[in-house]
Amino acid sequence: MVRDASKLPPADPRLHLVSGALPSDAATLAAALRGRDAVICALGVRNAFKSGGLIEGAMRVLVPALERAGVRRLLLMSANGVGETRVRSPLLPRIMYRLLLGDIFTDKEAGEAIVRASNLEWTIAYPTLLTDGPRTGRYRAGETLELRGMPKISRADVADFLLRELAARAYVRKGVVLSN
């Protein structure tokens, strides 16, 4: 389910795209979940410093919809610096998170609380600073990682991790930090 499927490049023919937005399109979401095994949620606000309550509002709709549809697996992309990952982040990113992304990270944390309270088999991914670089397959993943400076990871490598985690199930009901 994407806001505007026409903005995506041609996709794998096995991928079924549905246009809609959360939290407003609950009926579209319910229809899209029928017959599915898992959901990867990578919602976010782009180029903004205010969340508008997007993640919390979406999780208030998505989590019950998954439970009703019998979809047990949810992989949620968050951000390094949210929740417990904040204290383990290097100093410069921590300052940036507090000054620029406080509202967005508070919203993500509220949405994560809804996911964590569910009975779903969730995994929350905490990527460091996202880049538009290529998929390299050379990244680190762990419940905790030692990070220095301004750690980064490409969106393509985050997608690689999420797809691998669907099968590997190494981080069920856990958070995982992703970085170069």
- Whole-angstrom distance, CA of residue 70 vs CA of residue 47: 34
DSSP state for residue 178 in the 8-state scheme:
E
Q: What is the pLDDT of residues 36-84, one digit of tens each?
A: 999 999 998 877 778 888 999 999 999 999 999 999 999 999 999 999 9
Q: Are strands 174-179 and 140-142 parallel, antiparallel or unpaired?
A: antiparallel
The domains found in the chain, sorted by start residue, are 38-179 (3.40.50.720)
| pTM greater than 0.85 (yes/no) | yes
Q: Could you tell me which residue, 9 or 132, shows the higher pLDDT? A: 132
Q: Could you tell me which residue, 34 or 4, shows the higher pLDDT? A: 34
Judge contact between 37 and 73, C-beta under 8 A. Answer: yes
Judge contact between 130 and 161, C-beta under 8 A. Answer: no
> In which element (H, E) is residue 77 found?
strand 73-77
pLDDT band at 10 (very low <50, low <70, confident <90, very high): confident
What confidence score (pLDDT) does residue 14 get? Answer: 77
